[in-house]
Structure 1
């Protein structure tokens, strides 16, 4: 009898709709299934296809800086390498990246210091930073072009940054080669 009365009540239907909509919004925002998903990317390191002039040895990409990723909000490991290609362009390369999947992950160059533990989770958006693009996968090897105007003397760290929750999954200090 009580169940029948509740089912006929407009208030019950309004509350049910609010709960279903709230649950849908919560799932879309937090994306909890990402805790169980993984995307592996294996891009080749940038190379030069042919010598610039006949008889000249092939030019190789030059390592400008490198660093090792440390964990922040999520366990993260891998190496970051900044390469200058023979044409003068620069590429940030993530090698052997291993981190958690998450919503809205990006690769950032930043002027923030890399701090271990919780102290380092949220510092990367406090100063200057440059978003190099969405993280293509949470595992593997990936290349991100660095725009010519980016000053690597100023931006000395890299973060795998979750834009949705303003937190670093992991970061590395770039040591000049």
Structure 2
């Protein structure tokens, strides 16, 4: 009888271990995924173009990408650094550029535009999950530079921050307040 209980206990413990490894994916804490996409060079404001002296023609500025909003990442559940910048391209399309990102790798981490503020530390861990958000997709990597398209229908005025949100565990890795 005792031998049967030990065998059953061993089987149950093994099953719990396998399930735990599959759910928590601990190896991700020891691996990095580096992404180095080319970020657009953007100006902080639209160029001011004045007509040439004696000219009646209205000059048009050279089209350049323009920074709409930007902010530095703060750490939440995981140490996170880098900057998030929303850029409007000359054709009117918008992108989120994440520059010099460094955070932990994890399962099911998404890039969200969030209506929540970016609060550092434990107080910010769950804020994005309780606020309106727009999911830009799964994070491309936990290090480097990356770009995410922002659809035209997204109202940027509804979102205060960018959150790196772990969907599987409902926790923020880090967030950047957009100013």
Q: Give deviations 1:55-89, integer Å, cap 9, x for gaps.
A: x8752211111100011111110011101112211
**How far apart in 2 are the matches of 1:95 and 1:32?**
26
**How far apart in 2 are the matches of 1:38 and 1:57?**
42
Residue 106 of structure 1 corresponds to which residue in structure 2? 110
SS in 2 for 1:116: coil
Match of 1:95 among 92, 95, 99: 99
> What are the residue-to-residue correspondences of 1:88-167 with 2, within 5 Å?
88-167=92-171
| Superposition TM-score, scaled by structure 1 size | 0.84
Report the Cα offset of residue 96 of structure 1.
0.3
Residue 69 (structure 2) pairs with residue 65 (structure 1): yes
SS in 2 for 1:153: helix
Match of 1:18 among 12, 22, 28: 12
Q: Give deviations 1:121-159, integer Å, cap 9, x for gaps.
A: 101011210110001110000000111111111111001
SS in 2 for 1:91: strand
**How far apart in 1 are the matches of 2:152 and 2:11?**
51
Unpaired stretches in structure 2, ≥5 consecutive residues:
42-59
**How far apart in 2 are the matches of 1:13 and 1:57?**
77
**How far apart in 1 are the matches of 2:11 and 2:148?**
44
Unpaired stretches in structure 1, ≥5 consecutive residues:
48-55
RMSD over aligned Cα atoms:
1.9
SS in 1 for 2:105: coil
